Amino acid sequence: MTGTHTFAAAPLGPDTDAPEFHAYGGDWSDIADEATRLGHQRIVVNMGPQHPSTHGVLRIMLEIDGETVTEARAGIGYLHTGIEKNMEYRTWTQGVTFATRMDYVAAMFNEAVYCLGVEKLLDIVDDVPERANVLRVMMQELTRIGSHLVAIGTGGNEMGATTVMTTAFLAREETFKIIEQVTGLRTNNAYIRPGGVAQDAPEDISEAVREMVGYVREKLDELAHLQLKNPIFIGRLKDVARLDLAGCMALGITGPMLRSAGLPQDLRKDQPYSGYETYDFQVPTAQGADAYDRVIVRMEECYESLKIIEQCADRLDQTAGQPVMVGDKKIAWPSQLSVGTDGQGNSLAHIADIMGTSMEALIHHFKIVTEGFPVPAGQAFATVENPKGVLGVHVVSDGGTKPWRAHFRDPGFNNLQALSMLCEGGQVADVVVAVASIDFVLGGVDR
């Protein structure tokens, strides 16, 4: 008896006299016998908060009748960390470090949307240099592939197909290698900053990117061959967790779930930002509105993202040497980061300048790093197309150097509401498939 995993069969609702069972490991048969003896039909199963297939700490309360789910409710909040509250006590730039930790599987999008919001408030959206936008787009698309591969890979793993998971994670690792070369970190990058990005990409990055694109494309093909014609895969996913277009619209669902119902809604096309209108790519859709079609949409989106990344590599070659941060010294971070002998830090040339030659530059550096920059009072709402749907940020400034309020509309938080509709009336085993097909990350859901 370990005592760490408690699966309580606790009847809810009006008949509070009903018995309560607690399972600690391998005593299921005893519980089943006891339940049969007492003749209770209504069983509520508590799935989570530590169940491995719930993508973090999600709790699902299932009322089951035999193998059929009659009611499903999600309980969240186990990963609430108060990121939005914390951001109110840090400068606008430091907010990036918090935002990136929300949906940690799609970290770049959190940074991007937050910075777009701050730039709207500062009215400098059009001043962000081209090269910074190219880097932003490339980082976001790399992250989109990574996020979709996690969705597909863990989804396969949850159905027992470990090879799907390992193949997907091998490909994702290659996207991380590029992200690491550019930002210095695999995840939680704090790379996109208000006004641009934290540092320029290394000179030889475009070659590494092209190599990565070839490798990831091969791995995607491999994943497609592994899954899409596989009779078990089709049997588990086809017509499971259906949510048609009307259901999606009512529940405010966006992203691959909405596109799998046939609507080509994608903010990168509809309301382009960071120069997305200049890239050549398609918005894949499907008609089945089920878990299978969501995998198809995600797979195809990965190929489209690779196309965008290739275009980014060309543009990085063309824009070599151009700035990656706005010219306004009152907003721009004073130094670029670089890798020194003791790891990543402010560039040595900059340190030599402020410590050796210019006291004014030192004062400026100190002021903007400790105090930050003021943002005119007002509010703005920015949106980006995250791998999971529409990610929005509502930023309010009181004219000071810290956000008055920053609220994130995470698509996972919204889409998780569809869980009841996807699961009720289906099999218990399909709950896992339904959860995987929504593709949410509790870090973003709970913030």
Partner 1 sequence: MTESDIAPVPEGRESLTLINVREGMFSGSGDTSGFGGLTKTIAMPGPSAKPYGGWFDSVVEILQELLEDTADAAIEAVVVDRGELTLRVNRDHLVEVCRHLRNDQDLRFEICLGVSGVHYPADSGAELHAVYPLLSLTHNRQMRLEVACGDDDPHIPSVCSIYPANNWHEREAYDFFGIIFDGHPGLARIQMPDDWSGHPQRKDYPLGGIPVTYKGATIPSPDTRRQYR
Report the interface residues with partner 1, using CB under 8 A: 76-77, 80, 82, 84-86, 88-90, 120-121, 123, 249-254, 263, 265, 270-271, 328, 330-331, 370-381, 383, 390, 392, 394, 396, 398-402, 404-405, 407, 409, 413-414, 416-417, 446-447
User: Least distance in Å: CB of 292 to partner 1?
Assistant: 24
Identity of residue 201: A
Residue 252 vs 275, nearer CB to partner 1: 252
- Phi and psi torsions of 339, nearest 5°: -100, 120
What DSSP designation does 54 have?
G
- Distance separating alpha carbons of residues 288 and 267, to the nearest angstrom: 22
Residue 33 vs 371, nearer CB to partner 1: 371
User: Least distance in Å: CB of 75 to partner 1?
Assistant: 9
User: Least distance in Å: CB of 21 to partner 1?
Assistant: 23
User: Least distance in Å: CB of 73 to partner 1?
Assistant: 10
Residue 288 vs 372, nearer CB to partner 1: 372
Residue 32 vs 79, nearer CB to partner 1: 79
Using alpha carbons, list the distances in angstroms from residue 278 to 134, 281, 326: 10, 9, 21
Residue 40 vs 90, nearer CB to partner 1: 90
Using alpha carbons, list the distances in angstroms from residue 247 to 60, 173, 269, 415, 421: 21, 35, 23, 11, 9
Closest by CA position to 133, among listed 384, 380, 406, 403: 384
- Distance separating alpha carbons of residues 380 and 402, to the nearest angstrom: 15
Angle between helices 205-227 and 130-158 (to 10 degrees): 30
User: Least distance in Å: CB of 317 to partner 1?
Assistant: 33
Angle between helices 107-122 and 130-158 (to 10 degrees): 150
User: Least distance in Å: CB of 184 to partner 1?
Assistant: 24
Residue 32 vs 369, nearer CB to partner 1: 369
User: Least distance in Å: CB of 391 to partner 1?
Assistant: 10
Residue 120 vs 217, nearer CB to partner 1: 120
User: Least distance in Å: CB of 401 to partner 1?
Assistant: 5
Beta partners for residue 220, in sequence order: none
Identity of residue 254: T
- Phi and psi torsions of 333, nearest 5°: -60, 135
Closest by CA position to 289, among listed 252, 250, 247: 247
User: Least distance in Å: CB of 84 to partner 1?
Assistant: 7
Residue 170 vs 263, nearer CB to partner 1: 263
User: Least distance in Å: CB of 379 to partner 1?
Assistant: 7
Residue 87 vs 433, nearer CB to partner 1: 87
Angle value at C-alpha 57, between 51 and 62, nearest 5 degrees? 55
User: By CB neighbour count within 10 A (0-12 exposed, 13-18 middle, 19+ buried), where does 95 fall?
Assistant: buried
Residue 234 vs 377, nearer CB to partner 1: 377
Torsion of CA 321, 319, 214, 138, to 10 degrees: 90
Calculate Rg over the CA atoms of the chain. Answer: 24
- Distance separating alpha carbons of residues 447 and 441, to the nearest angstrom: 10
- Distance separating alpha carbons of residues 259 and 308, to the nearest angstrom: 19
